[in-house]
Structure 1
Amino acid sequence: MNYYILFYELTDNYLQERGQYRAEHLGLAKEAAQNGDLVLGGALDEPADQAVLVFRGQDDNVASTFAKNDPYVKNGLIKEWKVRKWNAVVGSKFEND
Structure 2
Amino acid sequence: MTIPFGEKHLVAVLSIPANASDVQTAVILTHGAGGDMNFKHLVSLAHALSSNGLLCLRFTCKCLNLVYRVKAYHAVWEYLKNLEKFTIRNIFLGGKQSKLFYNLN
In the superposition, the TM-score normalised over structure 2's length comes to 0.36
Larger Rg: 1
